[in-house]
Amino acid sequence: MRHPITAQQVKELAAQLDASTRLLTAADGDDYEKIISRWADNAVKRAGAVAVPVSYEEVSKLVKFASNNKLDLAVRGGGHSTGGTSSTEGGLTIDLSGMRAVKVDKDSKLIVAQGGALWEDVDNAAFEKGLATVGGTVNHTGIGGLTLGGGLGWLSGLYGTVVDNLVAAKIVVADGRVLSVSENENTDLFWAIRGAGHNFGVAVEFTFRAYDQTNDVYAGGLVFTPDKLTLLVDGFNTRMKTPNPQATGMFLFAKPPSMPVAVVVANVFYNGDEAAAREYFKFLFDLEPVAVTAKMMPYNHLNALLNPLTTHGRRKALKAVTVTHHIDAAFVQELYNDYAQQVEKNPDMSASILGIEIHDTSKIQSVPLEATAFSNRGSYRPGIVGLEWTDPTMDEENRAWGRMIQAKCRQAVIDSKEFTEDTKTSLEYANYVEPGDLITDTPFGGNQQRLGMLKHKYDPDFMFNKTNPITPLRTELN
């Protein structure tokens, strides 16, 4: 059992820390309130103490102190967890916001980023050297949480997931050791953090493989009235019979204040010029969108496109959903109807979205499932229900609606011919999962047992237990 931190323990911890590490409690007023704030207001918890280290050694001290005193421990990178997993009620939070340095080597094409960096930091630093790597589609997201859960982005069609491009990392494990992990060092831990990393320590440094990215890209949104939905889905299905890894699409349902009904927004990305992009996505332009915001832009502007839909504040929840590789237009129409009825019935949820991502999955599937802990390598399409509201009395009801959509999508995939019961993949993309969401106790599919064994090796006392927690297994590894 994990415990809150006491006032005496705060004094003891302060005496052990370097002067460079800030240690904040509720007595610090506005500074404390600011440091416990999160992307989602409902994810805020009142930590007993928040430490803001600037060195790996200080993180080691903090982890060791939490371990020795059996404290409830949370780790904050970008603070985007809507389930509150980067927060603790009364315990100790390690806030990595003081560790955002990014270094880029153009010759080796490697990016070394500290664990508190945001994707904006990585995108901009790499862009200055004519490089890019797979990163999140919202650039104020922390690199740590997204990377440790797998990581999908606009470049996934070309280069796979974020963890497929993770070359090395430094992890502070439960006993306080700072371990370097790679294909040559602590290889079992390196395997585990690539998809299930939240369970194994504090990631204080990542090294990513980068790629030449000197050209501008074509990206943005096309807005359609709902009567075009079936044609839009059919068009994507036809287009993806001959996918181009340079291109990625995403369509979502949204209810802009200026529109009388919920609309369909197709967000597109093409790693090339506008003429080629418009030809590739011709089926969308032929549907006569009511608005087009897509245009040519520098690559480092790309991951800011969805920021207006993902502003800080208000109450939020994310729900991972999945649909079949060949998208069932009738089923998507049903999802649209569910969404439109919900936001009409509950206008406080009108800023919510429901989206489906459409990548060329060839690169992602080319990596064997057992090569990393990341378990979402099926051919099906990942999606997200992004709930947003203001009324705290509606927290459970709104989440329940999102879980209903999640369960409906899961059952539709299970019932399809694209899915077999003996698959070792997991259906829901872990980075969009909140505590209590999954309808299975094996969120890591065929990798679950090995992860349990490694959990026992590196965190036998279950200190890192907040994001898709893995129960330690005492069975010895072969």
Query: Of 271, 274, 272, 277, which is closest to residue 239 (Cα–Cα)?
Result: 277
User: What phi, psi does 254 have (nearest 5°)?
Assistant: -145, 160
Whole-number pLDDT of residue 132: 98
* Residue 262 contacts residue 253 (beta carbons within 8 Å): yes
Q: Which CATH number fits domain 102-212: 3.20.20.390, 1.10.3210.10, 3.40.190.10, 3.30.465.10?
A: 3.30.465.10
pLDDT of residue 391: 98
- Cα 439 to Cα 166, 263, 297, 384, 402, distances in angstroms: 29, 30, 41, 16, 13
Give the span between the Cα atoms of 255 and 353, in whole angstroms.
8
245, 219, 230: which is closest to 364 by C-alpha? 245
In whole angstroms, give the CA distance from residue 187 to residue 307. 36
Asked if residue 234 lies in contact with residue 320, where contact means CB atoms within 8 angstroms, the answer is no
Residues 6 or more apart in contact with residue 413 via CB below 8 angstroms: 322, 323, 324, 380, 419, 427
At 439 the pLDDT is 66
Q: Could you give the CA distance from residue 361 to residue 254 in angstroms, rounded to a whole number?
A: 25
Beta-strand pair 295-297/217-224: antiparallel
Tell me whether residue 312 is exposed, middle or buried, using C-beta atoms within 10 angstroms of its C-beta: 0 to 12, 13 to 18, 19 or more.
middle
Contact of 221 with 266, CB cutoff 8 Å: yes
Q: Are strands 166-172 and 131-132 parallel, antiparallel or unpaired?
A: unpaired
How many CB atoms sit inside 10 A of residue 367's CB?
A: 16
User: Nearest to residue 368, comparing CAs of 94, 206, 164, 90?
Assistant: 164
Position 478 scores a pLDDT of 46
d(CA 50, CA 322): 36
What is the CATH architecture of 217-432?
3-Layer(aba) Sandwich (3.40)
User: Do 137 and 252 contact (CB within 8 A), yes or no?
Assistant: no
Question: What local confidence, expressed as pLDDT, does residue 425 receive?
Answer: 87
Four-way CATH pick for 7-97: 1.10.3720.10, 3.30.70.1060, 3.30.43.10, 2.40.50.140: 3.30.43.10
User: pLDDT truncated to tens, each residue of the chain (478 aa)?
Assistant: 899 999 999 999 999 999 999 999 999 999 999 999 999 999 999 999 999 999 999 999 999 999 999 999 999 999 999 999 999 999 999 999 999 999 999 999 999 999 999 999 999 999 999 999 999 999 999 999 999 999 999 999 999 999 999 999 999 999 999 999 999 999 999 999 999 999 999 999 999 999 999 999 999 999 999 999 999 999 999 999 999 999 999 999 999 998 999 999 999 999 999 999 999 999 999 999 999 999 999 999 999 999 999 999 999 999 999 999 999 999 999 999 999 999 999 999 999 999 999 999 999 999 999 999 999 998 889 999 999 999 999 999 999 999 999 999 999 999 998 877 677 888 888 888 888 886 666 789 899 999 999 999 999 999 999 999 999 998 654 4
Cβ 384 vs Cβ 432: under 8 Å? yes
3-state helix, strand, coil in the chain (%, to 5): 35, 20, 40
Give strand ranges (E) for 210-246.
Answer: 211-212, 217-224
Q: Is 7-97's fold the same as 102-212's? A: no
Neighbours of 394 (CB within 10 A): 17
pLDDT of amino acid 430: 87
H or E element that contains 339: helix 329-345
Taking the C-alpha atoms of residue 166 and residue 242, their distance in angstroms, rounded to an integer, is: 28
> What phi and psi values does residue 140 have, to the nearest 5 degrees?
-95, 10
Domain ranges of the chain: 7-97, 102-212, 217-432
d(CA 13, CA 24) in angstroms, rounded, equals: 11
